[in-house]
């Protein structure tokens, strides 16, 4: 079958490789001038790793699994609120990996022959008819396909075409900063794989190791109005977190603004009524953009890609529309559940005032063994 994938993000690349390996004739269209993934670190959860494994893409990612004895939530000074035994949780449900985004993208796209990729080709429109889909770029037809996978990200233009009337994205009122930097020599800290929350401002800071030599940090805080540039956002965060654990401000200060990414956080205003329309299907953020609080966005895109590869095994132009409906039936209920859980998690960590005080008191009262069991249960539920 002739398959077009639109969008060469993490999800689109994983899908293109999976479908190419099934023997389909794949073309991957990307609007950017080159194939690349910008950004800092990314957590790939155990369920995402399992999906990559099913696609034959887990080599190189498995080496990046997190080795941390503890995780959980702490207050802004680094005092434990909810300490989990990460080793025990990982024993039960598997280990997440934390990677440099650019390296992950490179590893995923490596098996894709270069002649299947068309960069600098923004797809503006898809024109389906009873025998196929015409792909339009630069107001001209660029190819025809038996099936098109729209993996064009959270701002997806094709989603609006496929699901007319859908309200699209909504801002959550939060902003995230992300940075990566060399690990300071000799640094020993129990803040790794932790999130620090502050009930006074509702802000959060998270810290992860990337391999042996680098650290990835992120902040999450309220956004009022237009998101600032990296310079101003860094200044604001240093002021907001001035009395936090000293490592927090030291790491933000040590990261040059050019290496800091600022994102206003968005999610789908409403879940989609379908991921499939005839011979066209949505995948990844285009289908289920969610807040990053559970670290599931890319893992869900990998699960989409693995499910799509399963449903399109031995598919042909005559049965592909039904196969895409099967893909939708498998994936949409699960991603809807995870979108809701991510929004709940975001509300929980950003609580302020009395609600924040009760949250902290409740978290402190949960024994570590129970917290570990709950974390394992959450991961298990996400992995099913």
Ligand X SMILES: Cc1cc2nc3c(=O)[nH]c(=O)nc-3n(C[C@H](O)[C@H](O)[C@H](O)COP(=O)(O)OP(=O)(O)OC[C@H]3O[C@@H](n4cnc5c(N)ncnc54)[C@H](O)[C@@H]3O)c2cc1C
Please report whether residue 96 would count as binding ligand X according to CB under 6 A.
no
From residue 118, alpha-carbon distances to 32, 112, 298, 335 in Å are 9, 12, 22, 29
**Pick 32 or 278: Cβ nearer ligand X:** 32
| Footprint of ligand X on 129-158 (CB under 6 A) | 151-154, 157
Q: Least distance (Å) from ligand X to the CB of residue 295?
A: 4
Q: Least distance (Å) from ligand X to the CB of residue 207?
A: 13
Q: Which of 16, 42, 191, 233 binds ligand X (CB under 6 A)?
A: 42
| CB-based contact 345:26 (threshold 8 Å) | no
Two structure tokens written together for 326: 């099967």
Q: 3-state secondary structure string, 265-332?
A: EEEECCCCCCCEECCEEECCHHHHCCCHHHCCHHHHHHHHHHHHHHHCCCCCCCCHHHHHHHHHHHHH
x-marked contacts with ligand X along 235-264 as a string, rule CB under 6 A: ----------------------------x-
| Footprint of ligand X on 160-219 (CB under 6 A) | 176, 178
Helix, strand, or coil (residue 374): helix
Closest CA to 198 of 248, 151, 258, 132: 248
Q: Which of 3, 4, 5, 8 binds ligand X (CB under 6 A)?
A: 8
From residue 80, alpha-carbon distances to 75, 132, 247, 346 in Å are 6, 57, 15, 19
Two structure tokens written together for 219: 């902040």
Q: Which of 43, 82, 251, 268 binds ligand X (CB under 6 A)?
A: 43
**Pick 365 or 381: Cβ nearer ligand X:** 381
x-marked contacts with ligand X along 283-302 as a string, rule CB under 6 A: -xx------x--xxxxx-x-
Please report whether residue 122 would count as binding ligand X according to CB under 6 A.
yes
- Sequence-distant (≥ 6) Cβ neighbours of residue 209 within 8 angstroms: 66, 67, 68, 98, 183, 192, 193, 215, 216
Please report whether residue 18 would count as binding ligand X according to CB under 6 A.
no
**Pick 13 or 360: Cβ nearer ligand X:** 13
| CB-based contact 339:299 (threshold 8 Å) | no
* DSSP states of 326-367: HHHHHHHHHHHHHHHHHHHHHHHHT--HHHHHHHHHHHHHS-
**Pick 6 or 223: Cβ nearer ligand X:** 6
Instruction: Round to whole Å and give the CA distance between 80 and 347.
Output: 20
Q: Give the residue at shortest CB distance from ligand X.
A: 9
Q: Least distance (Å) from ligand X to the CB of residue 152?
A: 4
Please report whether residue 30 would count as binding ligand X according to CB under 6 A.
yes
**Pick 156 or 372: Cβ nearer ligand X:** 156
**Pick 275 or 360: Cβ nearer ligand X:** 275
Q: Interface with ligand X by CB under 6 A: which range of 26-34, 80-88, 312-320, 371-379? A: 26-34
Two structure tokens written together for 21: 């390996």
Instruction: Round to whole Å and give the CA distance between 312 and 280.
Output: 13
Closest CA to 56 of 302, 286, 316: 302
Please report whether residue 337 would count as binding ligand X according to CB under 6 A.
no
Instruction: Round to whole Å and give the CA distance between 105 and 85.
Output: 30
Q: Least distance (Å) from ligand X to the CB of residue 157?
A: 5
**Pick 153 or 356: Cβ nearer ligand X:** 153
Q: What is the DSSP letter of 155?
A: T
**Pick 178 or 279: Cβ nearer ligand X:** 178
Size of interface with ligand X, in residues (CB under 6 A):
32
- Sequence-distant (≥ 6) Cβ neighbours of residue 243 within 8 angstroms: 76, 77
Q: Least distance (Å) from ligand X to the CB of residue 80?
A: 23
Instruction: Round to whole Å and give the CA distance between 245 and 44.
Output: 27
Q: Which of 1, 6, 248, 276 binds ligand X (CB under 6 A)?
A: 6
Please report whether residue 328 would count as binding ligand X according to CB under 6 A.
no
Binding site for ligand X (CB under 6 A): 6-12, 29-32, 42-43, 122-123, 151-154, 157, 176, 178, 263, 284-285, 292, 295-299, 301
């Amino acid at each position: 079958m002739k398959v077009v994938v639109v969008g060469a993000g993490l999800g689109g690349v994983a899908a293109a490789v999976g479908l190419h390996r099934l023997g389909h004739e794949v073309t991957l269209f990307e609007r950017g001038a080159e194939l690349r993934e910008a950004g800092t670190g990314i957590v790939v959860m155990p369920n995402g790793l399992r999906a990559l494994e099913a696609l034959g893409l887990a080599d190189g990612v498995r080496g990046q699994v997190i080795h941390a004895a503890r995780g959980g939530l702490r207050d802004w000074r680094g005092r434990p609120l909810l300490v989990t035994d990460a080793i025990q949780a990982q024993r039960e449900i598997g280990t997440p990996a934390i990677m440099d985004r650019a390296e992950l993208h490179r590893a995923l796209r490596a098996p894709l022959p270069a002649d299947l990729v068309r960069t600098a080709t923004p797809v503006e429109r898809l024109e389906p008819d009873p025998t196929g889909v015409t792909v339009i770029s630069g107001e001209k037809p660029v190819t025809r396909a038996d099936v098109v996978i729209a993996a064009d990200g959270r701002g997806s233009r094709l989603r609006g075409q496929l699901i007319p009337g859908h309200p699209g994205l909504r801002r959550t009122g939060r902003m995230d900063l992300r940075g990566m930097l060399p690990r300071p020599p000799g640094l020993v800290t129990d803040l790794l794989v932790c999130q620090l929350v502050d009930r006074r401002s509702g802000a959060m800071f998270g810290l992860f190791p990337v391999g042996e030599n680098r650290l990835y940090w992120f902040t999450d805080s309220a956004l009022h109005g237009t998101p600032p540039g990296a310079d101003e956002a860094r200044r604001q965060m240093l002021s907001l977190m001035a009395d936090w654990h000293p490592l927090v401000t030291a790491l933000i200060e040590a990261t040059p603004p050019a290496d800091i990414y600022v994102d206003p956080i968005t999610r789908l205003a409403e879940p989609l009524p379908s991921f499939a329309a005839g011979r066209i299907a949505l995948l990844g953020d285009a289908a289920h953009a969610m807040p990053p609080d559970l670290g599931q966005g890319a893992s869900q895109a990998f699960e989409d890609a693995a499910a799509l590869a399963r449903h399109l095994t031995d598919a042909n132009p005559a049965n592909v529309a039904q196969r895409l409906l099967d893909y939708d039936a498998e994936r949409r209920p699960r991603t809807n559940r995870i979108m809701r859980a991510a929004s709940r998690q975001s509300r929980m960590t950003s609580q302020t005032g009395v609600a924040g005080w009760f949250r902290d008191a409740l978290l402190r009262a949960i024994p570590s063994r129970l917290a570990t069991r709950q974390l394992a249960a959450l991961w298990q539920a996400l992995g099913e």
